[in-house]
Amino acid sequence: MTLTPELVARFIAIVGEKNALLNAHDIEPYLIEPREKFGGKTGLVLRPSTVDEVSAILKLATETGTAIVPQGGNTGLVGGQMPDDTGQQVILSLSRLNRIRSVEPAGNLIIVEAGVVLQKLQEAAEQAGRLFPLSLGSEGSCQIGGNLSSNAGGTAVLAYGNTRELCLGVEVVLPTGEILNDLRYVKKDNTGYDLKDLFVGAEGTLGVITAAVMKLFPLPKGKGVAYAGLNSPEDALKLLGLAQSHAGAALTGFELMPRIGVEFSVAHTEGVRDPLQGVHNWYVLIDISSSRSAEDARETIEAILTEAFEAGLVEDATIADSTAQEKSFWHMREAMSMAQKPEGGSIKHDISVPVARIPEFIAEADAAVLDMIPGARIVSFGHMGDGNLHYNITQPAGADKEAFLARWGEVNARVHGIVRAYKGSISAEHGIGQLKRKELSQTKSPVALDLMRRIKASFDPAGIMNPGKVI
C-alpha cells in the first residue's frame, strides 16, 4: 500500500500531529541501528501512548495493507527493528508506552508497558527491595518490549533464564486491532495454550506487545566478583564445573574472554584497565550472589579460587574489594563488543553450543576461520555458563575493511555449519531479524518452518506485521 497523504492523515489522526514524525531530520534516529548494517527508509513514524492507539493503528494498517515495523529502543543487532528501502513501511515506536503500571514486591511481580527502559525497570525493582535480573550492555536504552520480542539473553541467563523465562504474561495488540489481555499474575496456570510464548521471541511479526508481567526476585544480600587469568577454554570449563559445585544457584555469572578482547577493551574504552599484571591467554569473570551475606559471597569465591589454584586451572586472579571495582570488572566485559569497532571490520556470530563442547567448538571454528582468512583476529567471548558465545572475527591488521566484510556470508556459513554439527543455535540471543532469515531454512526442519509460516498466516493474513523478518 502506498503511503498517500490521505492515508498518512488517517494515521496522524490517531496519535495527534506532535506524535507523528514526517520530517527527515526527526525520523533519522529511527533509521540508524548499532551495527550500521541495515539501511531503511520511512515516510512516517508513529508514537502512540496508549494501547487503544496501537489498536487503532494496527486496525487501519490491516484495512489498508500498510506494513508496520514495531520499534523499541532501536538497539537490536539483526535488523529486526528496521524498515525496508521502499519508504512505504511505517515505524511504530513504543517509547511513549512507558508506564510502570504496578510493582508487587510481596508477589515478586512488576507490570510494565513495552516502552519502559530496562534500566528503569531494574531501578523500580530495586526501590521495592527486589531484583529484576535481566542485564544487557544496552540496558540504558533498550526497552522491555524489544527485550521480549527478541527474547533477550544477557549475562544472568545462567541463574535466572532468558527474557521468556522472566515473563508471566503479556498484553498484545493483534494485527486486526484486537487486544489480547494475557497478563497472568501466577506461576501456575494450565488453562490451555500458553499464548505469551507465541509473541515472546516473534520479533513483532505476529502482533505488538504493549505490556507484560515480569518476575522479580529477592535482592542478594552479598555479591562477589572475581577476575581470573587462565591458559585455555578447557581450563575455563573445568573452572565452571568447580564454581557450580561450590556455589550452586548462587553462581549468577560466568563469562569467558580472550586476551585479544581484553586488549581491545583496554585500548579503546575510557577507564578500562586489566586488573591483572601478567598476560594470560584467556580470562574468566565469576559473579556470585549470596542470599546470606557479603561475607558468604566472598568466602564462596575464595573457596572456588583456592581449589582452582591447587588444581592448576587458574594462573592468577583477583577479587573485587568494592562495588566500584565489581562494576569496573564488568565494564571491561561489557565494553568488549564496541571495542572491536576501532580495529576495523568485524564479522559477528551470536551462537550457542552445548556447554561441555565449547572448547572443541572454539578450536574447530578458529582453525576454519584462519584457514579462510589468515591473520584474522578472533574475539570469542561471552556467556560460557549458558553456552552462548559472541564469536566475532576482526579483520587482519591493515586489511581492506570492505573486502573483509564482503566475506560475511561466506564466513557465517562456515562457522554456522560447525555450530549445527555441534547441535547448537545460530542465534542464541539476538534473534533472526533480517540478518539470519535465509539461514533459518538451513537450521529449522521443514516441518518446523511450515508450522511457523502457518502461525504467521493465521495471526497476520494481511502480512502487515514486520514483513521481511524471521520467515
State residue 113's pLDDT score: 98
State residue 7's pLDDT score: 97
pLDDT band with cut points at 50, 70 and 90 for residue 255: very high
pLDDT band with cut points at 50, 70 and 90 for residue 37: confident
- Torsion over CA of 143, 147, 153 and 155, rounded to 10 degrees? 10
pLDDT band with cut points at 50, 70 and 90 for residue 438: confident
Average pLDDT, the chain: 96
* Residue pLDDT, tens place only, 319-378: 999 999 999 999 999 999 999 999 999 999 999 999 999 999 999 999 999 999 999 999
Structural domains of the chain ordered from first start: 5-93 (3.30.43.10), 100-218 (3.30.465.10), 222-336 (3.30.70.2190), 346-422 (3.30.70.2740)
Distance CA 116, CA 172 (A): 15
| Whole-number percent of the chain with pLDDT over 90 | 95
Q: Number of helices (H) and strands (E), helices first, in the chain?
A: 16, 19
State residue 35's pLDDT score: 82
pLDDT band with cut points at 50, 70 and 90 for residue 31: very high
State residue 260's pLDDT score: 98
> Is pLDDT above 80 for 1?
no
State residue 421's pLDDT score: 96
Distance CA 37, CA 338 (A): 14
> Is pLDDT above 80 for 300?
yes
Q: Which one-letter amino acid corresponds to residue 345?
A: G
pLDDT band with cut points at 50, 70 and 90 for residue 443: confident
Q: Which one-letter amino acid corresponds to residue 36?
A: E
Q: Which three cell numbers stand for residue 18?
A: 506532535
* Residue pLDDT, tens place only, 81-101: 999 999 999 999 999 999 999
Burial (CB count <10 Å: 0-12, 13-18, 19+), residue 5: exposed
> Is pLDDT above 90 for 39?
no
Distance CA 327, CA 346 (A): 26
State residue 441's pLDDT score: 83
pLDDT band with cut points at 50, 70 and 90 for residue 257: very high
Mean pLDDT of the region 401-410: 96
State residue 179's pLDDT score: 98
Q: Which residues lie closer than 8 Å to 113 by C-beta, 6 or more apart?
A: 94, 97, 98, 99, 100, 101, 145, 210, 211
State residue 398's pLDDT score: 95
Mean pLDDT of the region 30-48: 92
pLDDT band with cut points at 50, 70 and 90 for residue 252: very high
State residue 442's pLDDT score: 81
Burial (CB count <10 Å: 0-12, 13-18, 19+), residue 142: buried
